[in-house]
A and B are shown apart, each in its own frame.
Chain A
């Protein structure tokens, strides 16, 4: 491990990789700050451009975008009461009141410090937990992988929004889409209807670009510009020493909440942020001050939503199951680089894994520096006019879809998925479950079929093997918990 850490540090501090991380941090913060753009969108758009890079710089760029994007949403949450990302929704509660009191800069500075703390704590936990979990997962057979895949699908409950039923429809539709192409065990085409283009299956990147980016273009075109009061006077951004101590105190606890939530499939930054906010308020000596514009009300959700980043990377790297929508897209990035996430990644490609660990830590430090330097310019960029945003996102979506394989047919796929995603979301059918199912579907099908082959068609193998049985029980418990939670939130 010491050799690997030295190798990892050498990789991330190489000037080209360091600069790439700076670029990624800027892109992530900008995308996070602009309402309508997200870190998921940024990663989806940039994956095709990373294909010409080596795996390490490609992944460092995307990780830096991820970390920056989770913080970036707080900027507009504070200045114009419009969270740049859903994960920053809780930051509005105290961030905007602080801005109205003339403390916008202090609020943003608090958000930045708390985000950095959250990211660093979760990165450290990721570094310590991932290798032993990967070693444990090396013993998995197809039976355990099938159970892991099914457990990963519980993420659908968390990302389904208002209707679990519609989320389930989306997920199963995604599972069906994942069966299109060549059968993984017998060399026969399935549901290609004679099309050569479909024999390789549904192209993942155009699907992601279509669902997240092109559909967003349609939504941006449809939505009239919001009339928002913008707080322009940022003021001083540096908290004083007493304030820093308060931020660290609340940030540490919130970081742990965020990391834990990030490990759970599908439970992303938004859930973490509100949970941390609720806990900070509950445990505060002055809970009545929350919502009036206090530092703790900004620090808690921001530490938690950046705490999700490291937590979500743990199941993604060690088991190949995405922890949230961003890691679902990051999984695609790893696959595009020819890397299969899971325990074998640690065994066969430590030269990629350990730089990812070091990169997660460095990305948060870079984000801190870049964040302080660019607070004022980014506040201006965040109020970019909608018409320019539409054309920028549209053009880069089309180019991204083209760049993946140099085929203009992929562009058509992306547009088609964009239309599908726009229509589905308009009628309440979430698209994130489709993306999750496109990733997990092949894994689940392969594992289930191999398990049945090994057991000569006996289903009992899934409940007689202890790890598989435990995972399936955990699936049922998690699904029931999330369904109940959603019913309570709707009541």
Chain B
């Protein structure tokens, strides 16, 4: 069986080493302390060193024993629905974040919930998505305004 060097465990190990290096180098600029081992860089460097070792171990194991790496969740299996939908949900959530400032919390929440419901439905039904999103919006408004006495952003357009 041909070994795939770039399997998820190898990438994970590389990332771990990369993160460890980043923290190690960044902690070089931290000031020293009178008790050397109690300085601000000590604990991060210990953790960075440990992370690098663990990352190397993970890489080593995945390169030596690819059958074990294949037990990892199958990133290579393309579930077409998930490969498209999850990044869309991420994008939608980021758009939601930005629309809060523009449209205000309530309207943007309604649009977010409705769009998410439509995306998740096997057979998109605008009526049920709109109804359920309205209900969510009402509950959110009641909880915030009456129970918590907290104000929600009105948005630039509605100020």
Contact = CB atoms under 8 A, between A and B. Distances in A.
A422 B30 CA distance: 33
Interface string B92-129: 01101100110001000100111011111110000001
Interface string B35-63: 11111101110011011001101100100
B35 A453 contact: yes
B44 A190 contact: yes
Contacts of B1: none
A218 B96 contact: no
Contacts of A445: 43
A391 B31 CA distance: 47
B16 A169 contact: yes
A183 interface: yes
B72 interface: yes
A234 to B, nearest CB: 26
Contacts of A427: 8-9, 12, 72-73, 75
A221 B85 contact: yes
B70 to A, nearest CB: 11
Interface stretch (A332-340, A382-390, A474-482): A382-390
B35 A456 contact: yes
Residue among A175, A388, A448 with most chain B CB within 10 A: A388
A165 B57 contact: yes
B100 A453 contact: no
Nearest to A220: B120
A348 to B, nearest CB: 27
B78 interface: no
Contacts, number: 175
Interface of A is mostly: helix
A454 to B, nearest CB: 9
B137 to A, nearest CB: 8
Given A388-B117, A398-B109, 12 more contacts: A166-B12, A169-B58, A179-B23, A218-B90, A221-B89, A222-B81, A391-B136, A394-B112, A398-B97, A399-B144, A428-B72, A456-B35
Interface of B: 8-9, 12, 16, 19-20, 23, 26-27, 30-31, 33, 35-40, 42-44, 47-48, 50-51, 54-55, 57-58, 61, 71-73, 75, 79, 81-82, 85-86, 89-90, 93-94, 96-97, 100-101, 105, 109, 112-114, 116-122, 129, 132-133, 136, 140, 143-144, 147-150, 153
Interface of A: 49, 52, 162, 165-166, 168-169, 172-173, 175-176, 179, 183, 185-186, 188, 190-191, 193, 214, 217-218, 220-222, 224-225, 386-388, 390-392, 394-395, 398-399, 402-403, 406, 408, 411-412, 415, 418-419, 422, 426-429, 444-445, 448-450, 452-453, 456-457
17 contacts: A166-B58, A175-B43, A176-B23, A185-B33, A186-B31, A186-B33, A191-B23, A218-B90, A225-B122, A387-B120, A388-B117, A395-B113, A398-B93, A398-B96, A426-B75, A428-B71, A445-B43
